[in-house]
Structure 1
Amino acid sequence: MGYEFTLADVAYLTSEDGRQALASVAGRELSTRTRLADIGWARTHFGDHAASLVETVMLRRKAEAKIDGVAAWILTDDAVQQSTPTPVAAHRARRLTGRVVHDVTCSIGAELAQLVGVAETVVGSDLDEVRLGMAAHNVPGAHLLRADALRPVTRGSTVIADPARRTGGRRTHDPAALQPPLPDLLEVYAGRDLAVKCAPGLDFDSLDWQGEVEVVSLDGGVREACLYSPGLSEPGVHRRATVLRSDGTHFDITDAMDDDIPEREPGEWIVDPDGAIVRAGLVRHYAAAHGLWQLDPRIAYLTGDGLPEGVRGFRIVERFKYTEKALRQVLSRLDCGAVEILVRGLDVDPAVLRPRLKLKGSVSLSVVLTRIGRTPEAFVCVPSR
């Protein structure tokens, strides 16, 4: 657990003296090697403020890869961990352009920062006074107030919420164990335009949600799912996968798109779809959009004679019934010395298998292990990049 900030800490850190002190502490290395010495230096120069100063500088450095413009922010460790990455928050904000938006779990303001300048009016509320104080500093363009997310304090606004997904220090996928509980949020804001950020592992089918569920990935990692009420959803769309990249490019796949794909033998390439597509249950829709088909109807691996633009794929060199012995022999014959192992549908741990292959060659290859029908299959491949 990180340092427990107080309102007095926030007041100091946002004062002129605090800003100057933060600049001085930011000039220290604060690495594993120097941290004890740097903390001692901070205590000598700033006394009781040393802990909050050091923690703030360390958290700013930690958050740089996740939140844009965080160099002057005041944060807590828990808030940084749960905060939405800027490209994901900016993507959601675009859907809310021109609206009056109320973030009822605003925390330190990562969502608010992307809404200001896009939404007509931005309101943020939270029960935590310390985080509200931080948000007031971090996002001066938002209107802030202390309020319980389950007690509405605005009318006619579009509501967004990000329930805490940890209970007892452990991550939970139980909708009722979120804080505030997801069923309670949905009941309180029934009939309102509502967007609720959730963990992508949540069982959405159990909610009987009538709007849209969007699963979002960023640079190949699945980041979140978001529930959008019907008023925020595209007509006819109940599932969406959005694939974002840090270079600003993105695409999405929805269940309103065609999912008719052929059943054929493997093509020249194998494609492992982005995790957002798999989590959203839109593998067939993605395949149909790009002229691909499945290796097996129950497995998410796709195959085809070409690759979608910008997608990494695996060109098939050899295909055979999988046994560890057969794989070892093929890789040895191909002079393989390093191998990337991808597995779906088989009980194989790549970390356990790799050293048992005893590779000694000079070529790097990829291996896709899967099941086609009841047969375990191995595909030795050359990756596109």
Structure 2
Amino acid sequence: MAYSFSLDDVKFLRSRHGVKALEVASSLDLSAASMLADIAELRARYAGHDAALIETVTCRRRARGKLRGADDLLLSDEALQQATNSVVAEHRAAEIAARFPDAVVHDITCSIGAELIELERCAGIRGVIGSDLDRIRLAMAQHNAPGATLLVADALTPTSTADVVLADPARRSGSGRVFRLDQLAPPLLDLLTNYSGRTLIVKCAPGLDYSMLRNRFGFDGEVQVTSLDGGVREAVLWSGPGMEPIRRATVLRTEAEGLVTSDEVTDREPDDVPVGDIGEWIVDPDGAIVRAGLVRHYAYRHGLGLLDPQIAYLTGDSVPAGERGFRIVEQVGIAEKALRKALAAHDCGTLEILVRGLDVDPDRLRKRLKLKGSRPLSLVVTRIGRKGVGFLCEAGVRF
């Protein structure tokens, strides 16, 4: 069970003595094998603070690769789980600065300040405010984002005249993850109502039913679905003056030496694409494009077609940069006997199975196929019309 920090813990960790204690704790292995000895050492030297030191160091280690400067942050297990990846937050800060130059931005659910850090770093943002009801997380945020103005405030009570308001409602309760809009904390519809007429950006789970939000509740702003390195991270609602009901997918990828590339598709682009003409390749578009309902728009941009109008697999004679392509070897039936025969004929030894549009468990199917060859292949299992089909392909390649 995760450790619950106190304000005294945070005060100690921020002190000169606490900084030295964290250096000592960071030098320890803190593995399952060494934990008893490590606890004894820290307890002997820093009685009463050993649990806070261990929790901080282990959280910092888990935060590497997710949060910038992880080894200097104060954070808790729950706050780390909820924190936005620094790459995603940095991209958002840059977009805010481009769209609202010289803005003051108020993160009304700032928690430990992961978003504040990136807002502070962005040259085009004039001022940063953070607020939260959790005083312990605010104390951590004061350490993590020292340039921000911090307030104890309820997110549903406007407490500033900032140009842009940013919110990230909690999607977990004591019983686990929540899915209904009114179960978010604070509730999404209350946020939209209380900040009506102001520029409001709300981060939501990537599975948000934005169509229902539009059709049932009249949301008329932008919906942005963002992915990072192939994983869909969030659906973001942009509302306020000048916002239009646009859908957009933002695809972020980290390249060599930390370089981040960004690509965006919107529903303002053409979507008239051919269906059913199978090319040399099958393309599995990024999840943000699929979640945003922009597969046709993406296909048009890159000269691709659809295998089926209801299925998000694309096909063509080339693969867009950054996407995974599967060069078709043979179209096969999906009966197991036919699959085993085709896989044996192609000397398949390892098989990646991708499924869309059919109720097929890839792991169970792979076990039943009893592969004995040496060649790595991919199998795309889907449907065209009402018929299940398979495409045996060379192993997927990222272009």
Q: Taking structure 1 as the reference length, what is the TM-score of the superposition?
A: 0.97
Cα distance in structure 2, aligned partners of 1:231 and 1:213: 15
Measure how far apart 1:65 and its partner are: 1.7
Q: Which residues in structure 2 correspond to 1:117-132 (within 5 Å)?
A: 117-118=121-122, 119-132=125-138
Cα distance in structure 1, aligned partners of 2:297 and 2:320: 13
Q: Which residues in structure 2 correspond to 1:264-275 (within 5 Å)?
A: 264-275=276-287
How many residue pairs get aligned? The number is 383
Determine if contact 1:163/1:182 at 8 Å carries over to the other structure: yes
Cα distance in structure 2, aligned partners of 1:344 and 1:222: 17
Secondary structure of 2:4 counterpart: coil
My pick for the range that moved more, 123-132 or 241-250, is 241-250
**Is residue 389 of structure 2 the alignment partner of residue 377 of structure 1?**
yes
Measure how far apart 1:384 and its partner are: 4.6
2:180 paired residue number? 174
Determine if contact 1:79/1:107 at 8 Å carries over to the other structure: yes
Q: Which residues in structure 2 correspond to 1:339-354 (within 5 Å)?
A: 339-354=351-366
Determine if contact 2:197/2:240 at 8 Å carries over to the other structure: no
**Is residue 251 of structure 2 the alignment partner of residue 240 of structure 1?**
no
1:53 paired residue number? 53
Secondary structure of 2:285 counterpart: coil
Amino acid of the residue matched to residue 54 of structure 2? Answer: V
1:206 paired residue number? 212
1:28 paired residue number? 28
Gaps of 5+ in 1: none
Measure how far apart 1:230 and its partner are: 4.4
Match for residue 164 of structure 2 among 137, 140, 158: 158
Taking structure 1 as reference, are residues 50 and 34 closer, same or farther at Cα in structure 2, changes over 3 Å only?
same
Cα distance in structure 2, aligned partners of 1:383 and 1:361: 14
1:140 paired residue number? 146
State the Cα RMSD in Å.
1.2
Measure how far apart 1:40 and its partner are: 1.6
Q: Which residues in structure 2 correspond to 1:308-327 (within 5 Å)?
A: 308-327=320-339
Amino acid of the residue matched to residue 54 of structure 1? Answer: I
4+ residue runs over 2 A deviation: 230-233
Secondary structure of 1:120 counterpart: strand
Measure how far apart 1:312 and its partner are: 1.5
Determine if contact 1:321/1:375 at 8 Å carries over to the other structure: no
Measure how far apart 1:32 and its partner are: 2.0
Determine if contact 1:312/1:383 at 8 Å carries over to the other structure: no
**Is residue 107 of structure 2 the alignment partner of residue 103 of structure 1?**
yes
1:189 paired residue number? 195
Secondary structure of 2:351 counterpart: strand
Q: Percent identity?
A: 56
Secondary structure of 2:60 counterpart: helix
Cα distance in structure 1, aligned partners of 2:172 and 2:335: 41
**Is residue 235 of structure 2 the alignment partner of residue 225 of structure 1?**
yes
Secondary structure of 1:270 counterpart: strand
Taking structure 1 as reference, are residues 232 and 5 closer, same or farther at Cα in structure 2, changes over 3 Å only?
farther
Determine if contact 2:277/2:305 at 8 Å carries over to the other structure: no
**Is residue 120 of structure 2 the alignment partner of residue 116 of structure 1?**
yes
1:94 paired residue number? 94
Determine if contact 1:73/1:138 at 8 Å carries over to the other structure: yes
Determine if contact 2:133/2:152 at 8 Å carries over to the other structure: yes
Secondary structure of 2:136 counterpart: helix
Amino acid of the residue matched to residue 169 of structure 2? Answer: P
Secondary structure of 2:315 counterpart: strand
Deviations 1:185-239 (A, max 9, x none): 0110000000000001111122222111100010100111110014474x5x611
Gaps of 5+ in 2: none
Q: Taking structure 2 as the reference length, what is the TM-score of the superposition?
A: 0.94
Secondary structure of 1:137 counterpart: helix
Secondary structure of 1:150 counterpart: coil
Secondary structure of 2:49 counterpart: helix
Cα distance in structure 1, aligned partners of 2:208 and 2:145: 30
Deviations 1:297-356 (A, max 9, x none): 010011001111222200000002321110111001111111000001111100100011
Cα distance in structure 1, aligned partners of 2:127 and 2:376: 54
Taking structure 1 as reference, are residues 311 and 278 closer, same or farther at Cα in structure 2, changes over 3 Å only?
same
Secondary structure of 1:205 counterpart: helix
Measure how far apart 1:249 and its partner are: 1.0
